[in-house]
Amino acid sequence: MIQAKQDLLAALGEAIQELSPGADLAAAFESPKQASHGDFACTAAMQLARPLKKNPRELAQALIEALQRRPAFQTWVDSLEIAGPGFINIRLKTAAKQAVVKEVLDAGAAFGSQPANGQHVMVEFVSANPTGPLHLGHARQAALGDSICSLFATQGWDVTREFYYNDAGVQIATLANSTQCRLKGLKPGDAGWPESAYNGDYIQDIADAFLRKETVKADDREFTASGDIDDLDGIRQFAVAYLRHEQDLDLQAFGLKFDHYFLESSLYSTGRVEATVSKLIANGKTYEQDGALWLRSTDYGDDKDRVMRKSDGTFTYFVPDVAYHINKFERGFTKCVNIQGTDHHGTIARVRAGLQAADVGIPQGFPDYVLHKMVLVMKGGEEVKLSKRAGSYVTARDLIDWTSRDAVRFFLISRKADTEFTFDIDLALQQNDENPVFYVQYAHARICSVIRQWAANGGVEADLPGAELALLKAPAETALMLKLADYPRMLGGAAEGLAPHDVTFYLRDLAAAFHSYYAAERFLTDNDSLTRARMALLAATRQVLGNALAVLGVSAPEAMARETTENP
């Protein structure tokens, strides 16, 4: 069906040019609002009606006649009908729908993916300063970012996952001071315990490891403790390395590895921040006022100009961000996506303004942003707010320990990023159809069970691409094949829209189509040809379920506790 759709789109493009030579209208199909209206809908006649000054229904009839002369429509289309003000409803021949089964089996894990496009995309996400364990916001970023990276990869992009963090500054100084207080025997609540200090038990863990003179190694650094409680700089470096290691363990629990770590301090040590400021000044995009240096960001759509350098000589936080994104562009990334919390919304306009004011060839709208809201955790009908380890919040590892990596990944992208989400621990642990990740994984396991039974009776999976697919005519089979055929389009749209939640929606729909098929038809029949055709359809469905789950970083189990064999 994928090939059929491509052939039909090419033929539609030719017909549009026949009716309106030079028309700037891309050939496209839409999905009818009701399945009874057909398999595809075409609105080209209505779009051409105004420039051609013709009645859209009359134009639709002319377009149908042009389409019917083309071999692709003769091969793949059963009927064309005019509806409403000028829609053309297209009904495919059964063979076109059946073809998707062999297409999936032939492509395997590559089904739905596009060839390499030669372009580089960087997705920056998590980006947590090493001052404590990763919290739920970081967990949502991890799920979003990793899935978006996988979506880009399916569309042929060369993808880099980057983690950016500040290894200096006020927060890191607070971390060092908090650890030193623990080393001196102080704890939260004691006289002399700083009000700004971090209170979690993890601070005591760092202090204990420092006294033991341990060596800690993270993906981007390694440091050995001196054990000297007066060595504040050594405490700082050890605490940063210790927490970076802890973050690596969080990320490993999540099944995530970054390609590159970028230090904010390097923007200063290499002179990039100063160079960026100098360029903005030289371009006439700044001015001095009240002892501060300001960026004329209103020239680029911001609601007010922004301070770059404060009267005390320090830079505001968006200035290194501008320098950082110039660095990204210079590294050859034609597209960059930042996954951040909604509290970063105000940063977008000023960073983009700074990039345009720098005038280094960066396109408008660079970088893209995906902003997410925080996560509420419920257990036993009550909100879970605290973690002993972190001191004041639930950590990403807590959530994985309470449920599973699969549940955390699937749940955290099951809604649009900019919507609030409640993570229900009890629901994530249920093994029934109410749990969406179980519902999808169970569909995969159920198919594996049926195919195992068929193979045990002499069936050979290698023979499935040659199955007699013309036998797949039942309504539930048609519905399932149409859903399989929609997978490539869904992937492309999800990647373009930075919308991994579309994949979770698709998976639930595909699982539902399979479960309906399971309830409606027997798979192991007395007709060997029909059985083999149905095994081919099941194998294709298993493949697409597995492909889509892989995009989300969720496993595709071959067996599950609730697996049954009543259908075959």
Residue 187 φ/ψ, nearest 5 degrees: -145, 165
Number of domains making up the chain: 4
Judgement on whether residues 485 and 355 belong to the same structural domain of the protein:
no
pLDDT digits (tens, 9 = 90+) for 241-253: 999 999 999 999 9
Helix (H) or strand (E) holding 495: helix 487-496
Contacts of 546 (CB under 8 A, 6+ apart): 109, 444, 556
In a domain, residue 151? The reply is yes
Instruction: Using the 3D structure, point to which of 372, 404, 421 is the last residue of a domain.
Output: 372
Strand arrangement of the beta sheet that strand 368-372 belongs to: 260-263, 158-165, 120-124, 335-341, 368-372
Answer for the pair 124, 336: CB distance below 8 angstroms, yes or no.
yes
Judgement on whether residues 87 and 6 belong to the same structural domain of the protein:
yes
Contacts of 33 (CB under 8 A, 6+ apart): none
User: Which CATH number do you get for residue 332?
Assistant: 3.40.50.620
In a domain, residue 422? The reply is no
What gap in Å lies between CA 406 and CA 428, rounded to an integer? Answer: 10
Average pLDDT, the chain: 94
What gap in Å lies between CA 87 and CA 41, rounded to an integer? Answer: 7
Q: Say which range, 24-33, 72-81, 192-201, has the weakest mean pLDDT.
A: 24-33
Question: With 60 as the cut, is the pLDDT of residue 563 above it?
Answer: no
> What pLDDT was estimated at residue 2?
81
Which two structure tokens, joined as six digits, stand for 223?
Answer: 């440091």
Helix (H) or strand (E) holding 82: strand 77-83
In a domain, residue 252? The reply is yes
Answer for the pair 73, 11: CB distance below 8 angstroms, yes or no.
yes
Average pLDDT estimate for 300-325: 94
Judgement on whether residues 284 and 301 belong to the same structural domain of the protein:
yes
What gap in Å lies between CA 182 and CA 203, rounded to an integer? Answer: 7
In the chain, the amino acid numbered 9 is L
- CA distances to 13, 157, 327, 372 from 145, in Å: 36, 15, 20, 11
Please choose, from the candidates 445, 562, 462, 507, the residue with its C-alpha nearest in 3D space to the C-alpha of residue 108: 462
* Longest Cα–Cα distance in the chain: 89
Banded model confidence at residue 454, pLDDT cuts 50, 70, 90: very high
Quote the DSSP letter at residue 277: H
Please choose, from the candidates 236, 230, 496, 268, the residue with its C-alpha nearest in 3D space to the C-alpha of residue 368: 496
pLDDT digits (tens, 9 = 90+) for 402-435: 999 999 999 999 999 999 999 999 999 999 999 9
What gap in Å lies between CA 221 and CA 242, rounded to an integer? Answer: 10
Which two structure tokens, joined as six digits, stand for 444?
Answer: 């995969």
Average pLDDT estimate for 13-23: 93
> What pLDDT was estimated at residue 167?
86
User: Which CATH number do you get for residue 70?
Assistant: 3.30.1360.70
Which two structure tokens, joined as six digits, stand for 512?
Answer: 């539902």
What gap in Å lies between CA 62 and CA 59, rounded to an integer? Answer: 5
> What pLDDT was estimated at residue 151?
98
Judgement on whether residues 440 and 544 belong to the same structural domain of the protein:
yes
What gap in Å lies between CA 296 and CA 300, rounded to an integer? Answer: 8
Judgement on whether residues 284 and 339 belong to the same structural domain of the protein:
yes
Residue 78, SS3? strand
What gap in Å lies between CA 78 and CA 74, rounded to an integer? Answer: 8
Judgement on whether residues 140 and 211 belong to the same structural domain of the protein:
no
Q: Say which range, 211-215, 319-323, 344-348, has the weakest mean pLDDT.
A: 344-348
Contacts of 107 (CB under 8 A, 6+ apart): none
Q: Which residues of 474-488 are buried (b: 16+ CB within 10 A; e: fewer)?
A: eebbbbbbbbbbbbb
Please choose, from the candidates 109, 46, 108, 114, the residue with its C-alpha nearest in 3D space to the C-alpha of residue 82: 46
What is the DSSP annotation of 133-179? --BHHHHHHHHHHHHHHHHHHHTT-EEEEEEEE-SSSHHHHHHHHHH
Answer for the pair 324, 318: CB distance below 8 angstroms, yes or no.
no
Which two structure tokens, joined as six digits, stand for 369?
Answer: 């942003």
Count CB atoms within 10 A of the CB of residue 449.
Answer: 18
Please choose, from the candidates 282, 283, 324, 288, the residue with its C-alpha nearest in 3D space to the C-alpha of residue 308: 288
In the chain, the amino acid numbered 356 is Q
In a domain, residue 140? The reply is yes
Judgement on whether residues 79 and 177 belong to the same structural domain of the protein:
no
Which two structure tokens, joined as six digits, stand for 139?
Answer: 């967990």
Judgement on whether residues 251 and 267 belong to the same structural domain of the protein:
no
> What pLDDT was estimated at residue 525?
95
pLDDT digits (tens, 9 = 90+) for 50-72: 999 999 999 999 999 999 999 99
Q: 3-state secondary structure string, 9-35?
A: HHHHHHHHHHHCCCCCCCCCCECCCCH
Answer for the pair 521, 534: CB distance below 8 angstroms, yes or no.
yes
- Angle at alpha carbon of residue 539, lines to 538 and 545, rounded to 5°: 90
In a domain, residue 99? The reply is no
Average pLDDT estimate for 511-527: 96
Residue 468 CB-density burial (10 A; 0-12 exposed, 13-18 middle, 19+ buried): middle
Instruction: Using the 3D structure, point to which of 372, 387, 419 is the last residue of a domain.
Output: 372
> What pLDDT was estimated at residue 133?
85
Judgement on whether residues 87 and 213 belong to the same structural domain of the protein:
no
Distance between alpha carbon 211 and the CA centroid of its chain, in Å?
42
User: Which CATH number do you get for residue 546?
Assistant: 1.10.730.10
In a domain, residue 377? The reply is no
Judgement on whether residues 450 and 313 belong to the same structural domain of the protein:
no
Judgement on whether residues 280 and 235 belong to the same structural domain of the protein:
no
Structural domain including 230 reads 170-258
What gap in Å lies between CA 167 and CA 242, rounded to an integer? Answer: 12
Question: With 70 as the cut, is the pLDDT of residue 562 above it?
Answer: no
Judgement on whether residues 136 and 223 belong to the same structural domain of the protein:
no
Banded model confidence at residue 37, pLDDT cuts 50, 70, 90: confident
Which residue(s) pair with 376 in the sheet?
422
